[in-house]
Chains A and B, each alone.
Chain A
């Protein structure tokens, strides 16, 4: 039963990560992404998945998908029907599942996904055929079925042979962080021993045109926190994480990649697409995440900022970090990895949480690319070059349209 809730354990279990899968414009898998984040590799190119010639900008962070997908419980025909975002999701899920060494069991496994647009490319195909001068129902049912986000979730259940409650959170660009946070809460509250969670989104014409219509895309270079920043760059990707209690992981002898210790959310009611300039909701989300993790800003060794590169977001986030960190701000390293891979929308929160896990595990700080003159609102040091560091906690921010704000605290496992 989902309700009544089971009794909460007297002591909340620690929630550890035993599997990670990641697909970004940097490439597929932990190693290539860790190296890319560590060294500050940039992965943008001209958009090829749709015609962007009439847009103000024509570049994005595109993923090179492999010709073949890994063997899972999905049949050949099921695999053929997977569109771009669903393929990235499956690749990330396969890497995480395999790394964790999970197997299907009879126990329900909660699946929590974050996305903004699911199988949007199929939805676009569906619409174009529906309005064509010779409308036809040919293949429309297949497109209709497979663009829906619940189908992509069910694909994972079929691929890995599990069952359990599916939660698909569509909180715009905070979706991935919300999904991880929700999964974290399920495990920490004793409602599940394990949870499979992450975020995904593929590039699509509708979303690209949407951000361009808002003049939110940078016509030059995405430069988060730079005084001359002029917009964001879009990307695509997926990240999936296997979460479980520390006791479960240790009982299995699983390798532990890191720990999630805190999650906080808040809603910004200022405007549908613009943050409140002082970053009140961002401050509330960071504060709540730290309270949840029982840490203070002085404990945090690195902040992976939402840092989209838009004037409004970075200004509000800089204010929020400054207010939240207090005296710690002057020494707290901050960077946004979006300068290298773009804004991955519903995948961003999960991918950036993975970047934090990589940094914690390797004890390095991802550099802030393309920074020339920091915005004076940044009272904190931006990580200008790849560097080593010794730190135990990282905090990652995700803020989205509609005022969805979420922060996660991650910890090095030692």
Chain B
């Protein structure tokens, strides 16, 4: 047993709650509306793409653990529920040992800002209800509590490449039988603090919020995880361009005749590029870059790429897909999915 398959996927994005909303938005290709986010002390608001307010209120928010949570957890749980589908019921009964890998870049920024704001005003009165929700692994903990999963649970922090690496970690847990199902979730929430930070380093990029999730098992499913490259770090001696070149070089000989290339915001910015030298790149049948439509979703953005690729494979739009991520400040990495 050495194969791993994607059995489900879920998404919450500025296009709406659910995979089909994301899929339709990418098919239409029109950038979604931008909303102004007020930043204290500055006249100019920050443009962001937000998740539409839910209506009606999702039933899962009645769970006792989710009542005081912030949007990052709402998005993560909604995407995970969609990805897990009917297998959710098997977790609580103990029939399914569910691993959870939660990936974040900015993380629980809204409650962190709120708590630190309270601390600066008077640390003696900062809210004990807010602080626990500032911790990076709070969303992963809520996912475990919601599904009743007591198995291994990691929160991974890094740039957009984390989600792709997490697919390989999930495969490892499945193939070593630590778990018999694994959720990989990327989620982020909008806040003026993170939107302003992105403005500083990449003024042309519009921040987005939401989540994406995929559910993996080792028994055959609709989409197979074929490969995850060795991540190429951005170091003193290797910038994003060279990291992308080395990432692409690892896929020489891996890909078939035609495939879908799903790219991230940053590798789009490196195009047109002198890097189109890998012998497989010219064979890309089509290319999707979710970010111009949805916005830069950070940890959720690469999850949306994986969801977009999975839907395209499911629908027969391609036989193979490459998820290629050039992260903001850490690494380049890619994964190959194939229609099973």
Which residues of A line the B interface, CB within 8 A?
Answer: 1-5, 52, 54-56, 73, 108, 115-116, 118, 124, 126-128, 130-133, 135, 137, 140-141, 144-145, 148-151, 153-154, 157-158, 163-172, 178, 182, 185, 189, 191, 205-206, 209-215, 265-269, 272-273, 280-281, 284, 400-404
Contact = CB atoms under 8 A, between A and B. Distances in A.
Nearest to A215: B128
B135 A401 contact: yes
Contacts of A133: 41
B119 A206 contact: yes
Interface in B82-135: 100, 104, 107, 112-113, 115-117, 119-120, 122-124, 126-128, 131-135
Given A108-B230, A144-B200, A150-B158, A267 B119 contact: no
Interface residues of A: mostly helix, strand, loop or mixed? mixed
B112 A189 contact: no
Contacts of A150: 157-159, 329-330
Contacts of A210: 115, 126, 131-132, 134
A148 B2 contact: no
B156 A170 contact: yes
Given A2-B230, A145-B329, A150-B158, A172 B135 contact: yes
Contacts of B150: 266-269, 280-281, 284
Given A266-B150, A269-B150, A206 B116 contact: yes
Given A135-B41, A149-B157, 12 more contacts: A3-B167, A3-B227, A131-B117, A153-B158, A154-B233, A166-B231, A170-B136, A214-B131, A265-B153, A272-B145, A284-B150, A402-B137
Given A2-B230, A3-B168, A5-B171, A272 B120 contact: no
Contacts of A281: 150
B141 A144 contact: no
Given A169-B155, A206-B112, A54 B123 contact: yes
B158 A172 contact: no
Contacts of B145: 269, 272, 403
A269 B230 contact: no
A402 B155 CA distance: 11
Contacts of B144: 267, 269, 402-403
A158 B132 contact: no
B116 A127 contact: yes
Contacts of B132: 210, 214, 272-273, 401
A133 B40 CA distance: 9
Interface string B36-64: 00001110000000000000000000000
Contacts of B232: 163
Given A3-B228, A169-B154, A171-B155, A158 B236 contact: yes
23 contacts: A3-B228, A55-B123, A127-B193, A130-B41, A131-B117, A137-B200, A154-B233, A163-B232, A166-B231, A168-B157, A168-B158, A189-B176, A214-B132, A265-B152, A266-B151, A267-B149, A267-B152, A269-B149, A272-B145, A280-B150, A401-B138, A404-B137, A404-B153
B172 interface: yes
Nearest to A167: B156
A3 B171 contact: yes
A169 to B, nearest CB: 6
B124 A165 contact: no
Contacts of B124: 54-56
B77 to A, nearest CB: 14
A149 B113 contact: no
Given A3-B167, A210-B115, A163 B123 contact: no
In the complex, the 3 A-B pairs of residues with the closest C-beta atoms, listed nearest first: A402-B141, A170-B136, A2-B168
A154 B228 CA distance: 21
A141 B126 CA distance: 28
A170 B123 contact: no
Interface string B151-183: 111111111000001011101100110000000
Contacts of B20: none
A73 B236 contact: yes
A213 B152 CA distance: 29
A283 to B, nearest CB: 11
B140 interface: yes
B235 interface: yes
A135 B119 CA distance: 19
B225 interface: yes
Contact of A178 (B112, B128, B154, B228): B154
Nearest to B331: A166
A170 B157 contact: yes
B125 to A, nearest CB: 8
Nearest to B127: A213
A1 B252 CA distance: 12
B317 interface: no
* Most chain B C-beta atoms within 10 Å of own C-beta, residue among A178, A209, A266, A402: A402
B16 interface: no
Contacts of B168: 2-3, 5
A225 B291 CA distance: 52
A140 B225 contact: no
Contacts of A266: 150-152
Contacts of B113: 127
Contacts of A130: 41, 193, 196
Contacts of A149: 157-158
Nearest to B2: A4
A9 B46 CA distance: 53
B236 A209 contact: no
B148 interface: yes
A272 B329 contact: no
A108 B331 CA distance: 14
Nearest to A208: B123
B278 interface: no
Contacts of B131: 209-211, 213-214
Given A3-B168, A269-B145, A124 B116 contact: yes
A403 B151 CA distance: 11
* Most chain A C-beta atoms within 10 Å of own C-beta, residue among B41, B123, B158: B123
Contact of A401 (B141, B151, B153, B236): B141
B200 A140 contact: yes
Contacts of B250: 1
B197 A269 contact: no
Contacts of A165: 165, 230-231
Contacts of A206: 112, 115-116, 119, 134
* Most chain B C-beta atoms within 10 Å of own C-beta, residue among A4, A127, A273, A284: A4
A5 B236 contact: no
B263 interface: no
* Most chain B C-beta atoms within 10 Å of own C-beta, residue among A116, A164, A167, A178: A167
Contact of B153 (A127, A137, A267, A280): A267
